Structure 1
Amino acid sequence: MELTVVEGDITTQDVDAVVNAANRGMRGGGGVDGAIHRAGGRAVLEDCIARFPHGLATGEAGWTTAGALPARWVIHVVGPNYGRGERDRSLLVSCYARALAVADELGARSVAFPLVSAGVYAWPLDDAVAVAVDTLRSTPTRVAEARLVAFGREMYDVLVAASRA
């Protein structure tokens, strides 16, 4: 699998699937979750409600339609909220590994990932980057391209440096 890094907006990525850093309820919210729900439109929310009436547990992944997004699917993951005391690193690792497993089930060959739990969930940036890069590189998958999407130049530079290490 090729690991790539781009600077941009995850909602505009022309890939088979985009990964959403969702909350447990999967009903939209702030950050990446809100952006994906806004750009994907009502179809994403309706599919979340139908497929996951009780949401998802932390560390788990599930898919829905991508609605109006360029991607075909949204793979929703629920990262641990470090700021609220959820500090089990294996749950963050699970988000990336489970997202790849769901992508394999769907037959997705290209998947765009945000940096899960690094925003409002306050996971320490250096470790969030290490988990993303290490897990994407070490998880067996049929995905051909895992694309880390950096929102802003500073994050792009951090992700590029980590992906080259």
Structure 2
Amino acid sequence: MRITAVQGDITEQDVDAVVNAANSALLGGGGVDGAIHRRGGADILEACKKLRAGDYPDGLPVGQAVATTAGKLPARWVIHTVGPTYAASEDRSELLASCFRESLKVADTLGARTLAFPAISTGVYRYPLDEAADIAVRAVHDTATDVDVVRFVLFDNGSYEAFNTAIRRHE
């Protein structure tokens, strides 16, 4: 598997699936989640509402992943995952790593070969960027998958640099 980092907009990625840093409600929000819902359109929201009405009446648990259509995005699917909120008093790194492992498992069930990830939990969930990048890259690197290309798509230069450093460390 090839793991890369690019600075850009995840909603513009021409990949099989994009990963959404969702909230447990699956009904849109801010940051990456809001951008994916806005750009992808109403089809994504409708698919998320069906998930809430079916298998996830209480929302998607932290560290789990589920797929929907990508609506108007260039990708075919959106894989929604809920990252943990950072807490200095509690090690939540396993929950963060689970987001990446579970997303890769979902990608495999879909037959996705190219996947774009954001920097999960580093925004309003306050996970320290360098630590989150290391956890993310290690989890992807260590997960057995049929995905050929994993692209971390980072919005700002600081995130891009942190993920590039983590990728070099795990080569």
TM over 0.5: yes
- How many aligned positions are there? 165
106-115 vs 81-90, greater mean Cα deviation:
81-90
Q: Select 1:149's aligned residue among 146, 150, 153.
A: 153
Q: Unaligned stretches of 5+ in structure 1?
A: none
Deviations 1:39-88 (A, max 9, x none): 00000000001123322001100000000000000000000112697742
Quickly say closer, same or farther: Cα 1:88–1:157, change in 2 above 3 A. Answer: closer
Aligned to 1:70: 74
Aligned to 1:5: 5
- List, as ranges, runs of 4+ consecutive aligned residues in structure 1 with deviation greater than 3 Å: 83-87
Aligned to 1:26: 26
Q: Select 2:113's aligned residue among 101, 109, 113.
A: 109
Mapping 1:6-155, distance limit 5 Å: 6-53=6-53, 54=57, 55-82=59-86, 87-155=91-159
- Aligned-residue RMSD, C-alpha: 1.4
1:3 corresponds to which letter in structure 2? Answer: I
- Distance apart, 1:161 and its partner CA: 1.7
Determine if contact 2:21/2:120 at 8 Å carries over to the other structure: yes
Quickly say closer, same or farther: Cα 1:26–1:87, change in 2 above 3 A. Answer: farther
2:103 corresponds to which letter in structure 1? Answer: A
Determine if contact 2:108/2:145 at 8 Å carries over to the other structure: yes
Q: Residues of 2 paired with 1:33 and 1:25: CA distance?
A: 11
Quickly say closer, same or farther: Cα 1:25–1:117, change in 2 above 3 A. Answer: same
Q: Residues of 2 paired with 1:52 and 1:131: CA distance?
A: 29
Q: Residues of 1 paired with 2:70 and 2:88: CA distance?
A: 29
2:25 corresponds to which letter in structure 1? Answer: G
TM-score, normalisation: structure 1: 0.96
